[in-house]
Every structure is written in C-alpha cells, then in structure tokens.
Structure 1
C-alpha cells in the first residue's frame, strides 16, 4: 500500500510540476460539435507516452452520456493485433462553454488533463489533439490509414501549432 501511495503522489507531483511548463498560446478550435466528434478515432501519430508504449491498432472511442459528459475508451494491443489487449477508461467534459474545443479528461478518478482539439476537419474526418503544454499530442482519423498527402499536411499543421512533430511516433494500424 505504501508503494502504491508513493507512486500516486509521485505521479501527482509530476503532473502538477509539468503544469508550470504550459505554453499559453495553445489555441483550441472555436467550434466543436460533440455529437459529430463522438465515435471511433484511429490514432495515426502520437507523442511518446509510457501508457501507450508498444501499442498498435490504438483507437479512442468517445460516447456522449445523458449528463453531457463523454465516456472515453482508449485501447490498443501490445506489439501486434494478436497481442495483449490494453485499455484505459476516462470521463471527459467541456469545462467552459466559451472554449468548446477544450476538454477536461479524467483518468482513474485522480488525474485530470486539459485536451485541446487544435485542428479539426470540417466533416470530422481527422483531428489534431494536444495537451496545453504540448507534452502529449495525437493525430486522429476516422480511418486507420491516411492518404500520404493528407498525412504530410496534418504533420505540417501540427508543427505550426507548436507541436514537436520530430518526436511523433507513427502508430501501427494493422487491421
């Protein structure tokens, strides 16, 4: 129990200290229709994060709840589509209706992070999402594979938003 508490407090201290690195110029999209945003998104690129290490076929599924919040299910498979299934559940909500592109996401009832949808296709076919600090970021698509030209365009767009795309990892999508 003592080890678990140490880990929890260590993670809390890490998250709290990383908030001092927040860059205030991260702007979210001004319009985000949660009904259109709901559904399955395939992770095309991500910045490295321990929770997703070695995962393939990663998806994020958003489901609207009656209370206006969003159930989040992130899942993937370790090393290959036949590998161990890993998943993480969260709850998301819009903390301020004046900023519709910002979502607060809470994992494990303890940790919250603000996610910004910083770019979004008008038909909700792709999205670029980042934490305000840009420590974590994702390129998501409704399809597991992107056309090469669109992929290049989205990487450029993410870079223009201040995301370090040289650190992006292309998520294997082997359906």
Structure 2
C-alpha cells in the first residue's frame, strides 16, 4: 500500500510534465542565449493571465543550476502590476528545450520550446503539458507578421486551437 501511495504521489507531481504528441522540443538549445527578457506576443488565455497586458518573462540562472523565472503583467482591472516568481529545470539534457517549471512549491508543469530562432534567439514558440497551453515569446514587444503567421500555422498543425489565440497588448 505504501508503494502504491508513493507511485500515485509521484504521478500527481509529475503528471503535468508531458507534452502534446505533435510537439517536439528544440534541440541544440543554448540556455545562456535564452536567458534574459522576453515579451509575450500571443497566447492561449488562462485564468492566471486573464486580463493581463504588457506581459513579460525574465529568465536568469539560479545558483543550483536551474533557471529563475519572473513573469510580470499589468492588470488594468486592478490598476496594478502582478508578478509570479518561479523556477525551472531541464527534464532531460540541457541542450533540449524541455523544462519543468514551478510557481507553486513542488508542483511542476512542462515548458517546451518547439520552435526557436536559432540564429538570434529572437522568438520562441512554447507549449505546456497539453494543447491548452501555448505562447509566442519575443525579445521585442512586436514581431513581424510572418513570425505570427508561422506561429499560428505551426500551432494549428500541432493541434492547438489557434482560433482562441489572443494577441497580448504590449504598449510601453
């Protein structure tokens, strides 16, 4: 019975570490080039981000080898900035863009970069554990229309509901 309880606990804690079947993490990933400020250009909306504009993410190295995550967005309804601090670690090898991220203690969810501008690390398409989680991140508050088109096209092929994608207002 004790082993069954441990197995169920492990499954609960790691249950969100999968990824959509059609999503493959980017290889030849270089964390040092990925670190820094990213702007959220588009996303599938969720309660934890609903109504937020000017959303950004800052990634820095942690002393334990992981990645510190600081997500920030402005809530017009509340008239204030909201922040969430988290931590992320590679699930497999450090050259594979498949990480687990936590904002709530021991509970982790998938962070899978499935498309990346390898040349300049200027944009990234990111999935969560299933097709309900999708983001387009960029180093600048706006992207060229062809990047947005590529994002929608690649996401649709992978089973994401691209009709539900919202563009994030990034006025600065």
When normalised by structure 1's length, the TM-score is 0.82
2:88 aligned residue: 92
Instruction: State the shift of 1:151 in Å.
Output: 1.7
Instruction: State the shift of 1:119 in Å.
Output: 0.4
2:97 aligned residue: 101
1:141 aligned residue: 138
Q: Secondary structure at the match of 2:156?
A: helix
2:113 aligned residue: 117
Aligned Cα root-mean-square deviation (Å): 2.3
Between Structure 1 and Structure 2, how many residues are aligned? Answer: 159
Q: Distance in 2 between matches of 1:40 and 1:91?
A: 15
CA spacing shift, 1:114–1:55, aligned 2, 3 Å: same
Q: Distance in 2 between matches of 1:98 and 1:51?
A: 28
Q: Distance in 1 between matches of 2:141 and 2:162?
A: 19
Q: Secondary structure at the match of 1:156?
A: helix
Moved more, 84-93 or 159-168: 159-168
Is the 8 Å Cα contact of residues 28 and 99 (structure 1) preserved in structure 2?
no
CA deviation map 1:100-147 (0-9, x unaligned): 110000112142101110100011000000013121110000000112
Q: Secondary structure at the match of 1:50?
A: coil
Match of 2:152 among 151, 155, 170: 155
Matched, 1:46 2:32: no
CA deviation map 1:20-39 (0-9, x unaligned): x9643321111211000000
CA deviation map 1:72-111 (0-9, x unaligned): 000010028x931101010001021177110000112142
Match of 1:62 among 56, 59, 63: 59
Is the 8 Å Cα contact of residues 118 and 161 (structure 1) preserved in structure 2?
no
Q: Distance in 1 between matches of 2:150 and 2:98?
A: 23
Is the 8 Å Cα contact of residues 89 and 100 (structure 2) preserved in structure 1?
yes
Unaligned runs of at least 5 residues, structure 2 = 1-11
CA deviation map 1:25-70 (0-9, x unaligned): 3211112110000000000001111011110100011001232100
Is the 8 Å Cα contact of residues 60 and 74 (structure 1) preserved in structure 2?
yes
